[in-house]
Structure 1
Amino acid sequence: MTSHSSLHDTTMTMGATSAVALLLIALVWLAYLSGVWRTRRQKPWPWWRTLLFTAGCATLAVAFWPSLMHAAHQDVRMHMVVHLLLGMFAPLGLVFATPMTLLLRNLPSGGGRRLVRFLGTWPMRVLTHPVTAAILDIGGMYLLYMTSLYAHSLHTPWLSNVLHLHFVISGALFTWAIAGPDPAPHRPGWRTRMAVLFIAMAAHATLGKLLYAFGFPRGTGADIEELQQAAVWMYYWGDLAEAVLVAVLMLAWLRRRRRMARPAGAASDMRPS
């Protein structure tokens, strides 16, 4: 009876969490659309940025859908699907939609200056540095899967909610620190970011191999085949998300090289007389 009651309580808690998460996602999406509508009255906003943000929010919604959340609580493979969606794929759409640029366009000039000053403070500069972001993102994965933390979260709803939030925040922070298109005057150069990205990719791949070879995470009651399948999904689908970051960072570097190589008078020469 106690076990059945505990399972029922956990299911109810997950349902409530999913409902709150889906509501917040919808509100964030509507806020972005509202910002696009306001800014388009003065200056065009790329439609594909809106599409990217919509895709990112839709990915979050799929991850927080009640049936998937329930399955993720019962199956390590489904948990890994949720992890990949929240921490690796949704951030691609959310960050590349340049929400900070949109926010700055809609803030009053005073509010915009205060936000820029806040983002330029040393705590924020440390937090948004690629090395810090990589430690929070990849290091957090090691802590979750190589210790008893994941097994503990299966029986602690609030901890599970914190982990889901960490997936989203750390994934978005890492994506932004490495290849975010929003202006960031204090962001390190592309060599530093590329080096951090490749080290993070190697660490992520190593983690996948450790999970596969030694049956982590432990204490879940899952059989070895289930654990290995989850590790395989982490390894290959994580590589895909990271390959997108490599491609975006390389394209940004190539555009910068073309701008630097362009003669100073080229722009004026192209204008009609």
Structure 2
Amino acid sequence: MINHGHHENGLQMMDLFIIVLVLTLIITYIGAGLISNKKKHLNSWPFHRYILWIMGFLLVGVSLVGPIAELAHSNFTAHMLSHLLLGMLSPLLLALAAPITLLLRMLPVQQARILSRLLKTPFPSLMRHPIIASILNIGGLWLLYTTNLYMLMHENLLVYLIVHFHIFVAGYLFTISMIYMDPTPHRFSYLYRAVVFVFALAGHGILSKYIYANPPVEVPKDQAEAGGILMYYGGDAIDIIIIFILCLHWYRSTSPKARLNVSSN
């Protein structure tokens, strides 16, 4: 069993910080939507996107604070559930909420143009590249579960925070590199993204089988088997949603109306 090195006070402060941060981001998004709705030339921001954003960050909170997060410190299966919520489902919901689009709607024209230029700079473009995002996401998981990093993060609070921050950010970057809900400069073709996604999906699936057969350091075999199964089938369930959205966008792009819009631009 993992020997926990977290200090109680440190954990309590971290939990409080996460709760405040989650609530702040939810309130900020709602406020941004209400502000953008006051602009007469814009339609009201879709209600379902508020729900997606709220659900996304509530899942972030659930994965890091509360019973699941507490159990995840000592139970690998619970940790894997937390991983799926934090690194896959939550990023998907947040990506579907189109936060950059909302931010551009809310900002004054001059500031929106500055943000648009920043999104076109090399670093953001590199982070949204499907291959780079896949390496950060899937590669990071291989590093976590095939080295001593998994054990180390339960012994050091800073490492714990860095690992979970990476899981969330890498999951979000991977999602937005595959499906474009927000304005995205330097777009890659549907075929290119689909091919990269297949390889990423294979990497995730192989890792889940590896975990099943080769438990991470100090993880009991029965928990590793249950966690590997959860990672395999839970990950596939979320990936099916991404595949559906990608294929839907691909299908819509082939419609006569879409081709006419492209040619007119």
Which TM-score applies when normalising by structure 2? 0.92
Greater displacement, 107-116 / 6-15: 6-15
Deviation string, structure 1 residues 55-90 (Cα, Å, up to 9, x no partner): 111111211223322211111111111111100000
Question: Following the alignment from structure 1 to structure 2, what is the Cα–Cα distance between the partners of residues 9 and 143?
Answer: 22
Match for residue 13 of structure 2?
16
Match for residue 228 of structure 2?
231
Match for residue 26 of structure 2?
29
Shift of 1:123: 2.0
- Contact conserved, 1:15 with 1:66, CA < 8 A, in 2? no
Shift of 1:241: 1.0
Shift of 1:19: 1.5
Match for residue 175 of structure 1?
175
Match for residue 109 of structure 1?
109
Question: Following the alignment from structure 2 to structure 1, what is the Cα–Cα distance between the partners of residues 22 and 158?
Answer: 19
Match for residue 246 of structure 1?
243
- Contact conserved, 1:142 with 1:207, CA < 8 A, in 2? yes
Give the alignment's Cα RMSD to 1 decimal: 1.7
Question: For residue 200 of structure 2, what is the amino acid of its counterpart?
Answer: A
Equivalence map 1:115-194=2 (5 Å) = 115-194=115-194
- Contact conserved, 2:5 with 2:154, CA < 8 A, in 1? no
Which TM-score applies when normalising by structure 1? 0.89
Q: Identity of counterpart residues, as a percentage? A: 32
Question: For residue 148 of structure 1, what is the amino acid of its counterpart?
Answer: N
Match for residue 71 of structure 1?
71
SS of the equivalent of 2:255 reads: helix
Deviation string, structure 1 residues 235-260 (Cα, Å, up to 9, x no partner): 11011111111000000011111145
- Contact conserved, 1:11 with 1:70, CA < 8 A, in 2? no
Structure 1 residues 9 and 148: alpha-carbon distance in aligned structure 2, compared to 1, 3 A threshold = closer
Question: Following the alignment from structure 1 to structure 2, what is the Cα–Cα distance between the partners of residues 233 and 8?
Answer: 26
Match for residue 208 of structure 2?
208
- Contact conserved, 2:91 with 2:171, CA < 8 A, in 1? yes
Structure 2 portions without partners, runs of 5+: none
Shift of 1:12: 3.1
Structure 1 residues 259 and 163: alpha-carbon distance in aligned structure 2, compared to 1, 3 A threshold = farther
How many aligned residue pairs are there?
A: 256
Question: For residue 18 of structure 1, what is the amino acid of its counterpart?
Answer: D
Structure 1 portions without partners, runs of 5+: 1-5, 265-273
Question: Following the alignment from structure 2 to structure 1, what is the Cα–Cα distance between the partners of residues 98 and 148?
Answer: 37
